[in-house]
Structure formats: structure tokens, C-alpha cells
Amino acid sequence: MQDQHDRSGPGQSGASSGAHDFDERMPETQPYPTRSVPQGSRESLPGDDDIVDYPMSADDELRARIVAALGEDARGVTIAVAARVVTIAGVVDRERKRRIERVLRDFAGVSELEDRLDIR
């Protein structure tokens, strides 16, 4: 009869006697949190109250400046920025389209303007 601690099968090193094996069921040996939080749960884990302020990307910053400059004219208009190329889309009246285009024509940081505004 083979000794129960003989570990000579595939994937076994045979170095362990079995008496001090790592047991993942022993909480004191687990280096990670064991408490489960259901997916989609709003329950927080320790440290979740820390506020992390990520810097805005250059495109996000440019978009925020454009929205601020347009004011009420930005309402209902889709404004997308990617690599300094600004795309505006939506349905507006003729005068509002002119105002938006006037503001964005020479806006600092804009390399190209893709105007997809339609006139109602």
C-alpha cells in the first residue's frame, strides 16, 4: 500500500508531507479579502470612501471648455472630441447653427471641426 503522503502523480512535487499544506479554506492564510459583494451592489469595501481625482484628458478638458463657451447653445447638441477633432451633431435652427459655428471656428485647441448639425 502506498503512503498517503507520497505525491508522485502528475503535477505533484512530492516535497510536501501533507501536514502543513496551504489550505485555502483557512482565512488567516488568505492574502485577499474573502467577503463577497454581489455584482451591481452599492455596498462599499474598506477604502472605497477615498476620493480619487483622476486628471481630465486633454480631449475631455477641451470638450468642457467648448460646452462652457457655447452656454445655452450647447443644449441638445452632441459634442464629441477625439484627438482635438470636434464633432458637433444635432438639429438646431439656422441662427443657433451660425452662433455655434462662429464660436468653434477659431476655438483654441480645435484642430478640425466636423459639423453634422442639421437645420430644422
The residue extents of the domains of the chain are: 58-119
| Prediction pTM value | 0.56
Mean pLDDT estimate for the chain = 77
Name which of 60, 120, 48, 55 is nearest 86 in CA terms: 60
DSSP E strand boundaries for 33-109: 78-82, 85-92
> Rounded to 5 degrees, what angle do the CA atoms 39, 40, 46 make?
80
- The whole-number pLDDT of residue 91 equals 96
Which of 3.30.499.10, 3.30.9.10, 3.30.1340.30, 2.40.50.100 would CATH assign to domain 58-119?
Answer: 3.30.1340.30
Residues 50-71 have pLDDT tens digits of 666 678 899 999 999 999 999 9
- The whole-number pLDDT of residue 54 equals 77
Q: Between residues 41 and 71, which one has the greater pLDDT?
A: 71
The confidence band for 81, taking pLDDT boundaries of 50, 70 and 90, is very high
